[in-house]
Each structure stands twice: as structure tokens, then as C-alpha cells.
Amino acid sequence: MATVPELAASIAHELNKPLATVSLGLESLLAQTPEGDPKRGALEAIQVEVERMRKLVSDLLHGSRREHPYVSTLDIRKVIEQVVELAHHHLLKRGISVVQEFAPDLPLTQGDRQELEQVFLILFSTASDAMPDGGTLTLRAFVERRSGEPENPGQGETESERIGEVRLVIEVADTGIAITPENLPKVMEPRLTTKPLGTWAGLGLSICQRIIEDHYGQIAITSEGGRGTTFHITVPVVSGLDQMNRHTA
């Protein structure tokens, strides 16, 4: 029984070899580059990014919770684009095209960039499993305002409940094999997997659920035969005042 999406394992296998080659090459170049050489700073920056990619893939495969999350203000578009770049070769090889539909002027959110990258890598992997013959992966991001009266007016409602809660919505949609109705309610369970109709590896999706809930968000799934599956993620946005004084990662 698979414990993580198969494409995630494929990404790890295919990335680790070139990453090791790049790392060895960097070590050789650094050994030949004296302190104070302008080129050394660029080489060291590349080395940091290589190690960050190794850690990202390792955390994905082991489903680990970061001991000390690094929370910063994030542009979710940049987070998603980074993961698209990471998975581009693997999706292309499987005949999967990527469509990005981002609303203009998206608000910022706060979170651990590495953990959110992990979420999108798992979701891309899961979508790819559902499209063994190729297809389209559509990524959307937009703002949703939940308006209306609170259930218990005057009983401790927050400011956001009084004026309408603004949330950032991210959707990851595939055109692949749908999840069956009987499996849909259980798809986040840690050990659910279905074959051959795609590898819906619950461990990976349960990691996504845990990370999103740690970010005070929610994740839901809709799936329909002939139309594919969509993962819907909602997370809080940074307030206007916070955005004026933001540090964006």
C-alpha cells in the first residue's frame, strides 16, 4: 500500500540525483573560489537553495512536522509558482499542462512557506496520479468574502464576523479520474489508497489537512466523473494595516 503519492516519490528520486551532482559541483567550485571573490557569494546562495530543495522533498516524503515553523507574510502566487517550477519537468513528462488563473492584487497571507510548498507539491502529485494519460492542472487563487449575519448576534462575534470575513481561496483542479462517492468522505484518512484509479494516498492528503488547519484554514474536495477533482483551500488574509508594514517572503 502506498503511503505517499507516487509522483512525490518520483520527484524525490529524479531530483536527488541532479541535486547531488549540483551539490558536488558547488563544493568543487567553492574550494577553488577564495574568500572575497565576488563569485563566492553567488555560489553560496545557490548552495543554500539546493539544501532547501533537498529538505523540502525529504519533509514531503517523511510527512514530518517542522519543529520550529518559520511564519512570515507570504504572496501565495509566488509560493505556488515556486512549486510549479519544481514539478514542471515531471508534469510535462506525463503530458500534463498547467493553467494558472490568479485574480489581480491578491491579498497576502501568513504562514510557513516550506510547509505550504509541501501542501502544493502533494496536491500536484495527487492530481498527476489521477491523470495517467495526461490532462490539465488548473490553479486558481481569488478572494472570497463571507457575508451575512452571525449565528448569535451580539454574543462575542469578532470584527470579521460583523463586516464579512475575507478569505483567500486557492483551488487545485485536475481533469483526471474522479474519486468515487464512497471514497470521497474518507480521502483524507491516513491509510486510504485506491488503485488502479489513481493513487489517492491518504497520508499525503492528511498532511495537507494538518498543515492547512495549522494555518487556520480549511481544505475541502469536490469530485465528479468526467470533470475531475478540485481541492479547495481557504486561508486567512493579512489585514490592510499589516500589509502596509509587511515583510513578504
Which cell is 189 given? 484518512
| Mean pLDDT by groups of 10 residues along the chain of 249 residues | 48 66 83 88 85 70 62 94 86 93 94 90 88 95 73 44 73 93 79 43 74 94 90 88 47
Using CA atoms, how far apart are residues 2 and 198, in angstroms rounded to an integer? 11
Q: What is the pLDDT of residue 198?
A: 38
- Residue whose C-alpha is closest to residue 116's, from 159, 168, 163, 151: 168
Which cell is 41 given? 557569494
- Residue whose C-alpha is closest to residue 176's, from 131, 218, 211: 131
List, in order, residues 6 or more apart from 210 with CB less than 8 Å away.
Answer: 65
Domain boundaries, the chain: 70-244
Using CA atoms, how far apart are residues 187 and 172, in angstroms rounded to an integer? 16
Q: What is the pLDDT of residue 109?
A: 95
Cα atoms found within 13 Å of the Cα of residue 166, Cβ hemisphere only: 12
| Neighbour-count burial of 131, counting CB atoms closer than 10 A to its CB (0-12 exposed, 13-18 middle, 19+ buried) | buried
Fold observed for domain 70-244: Heat Shock Protein 90 (3.30.565)
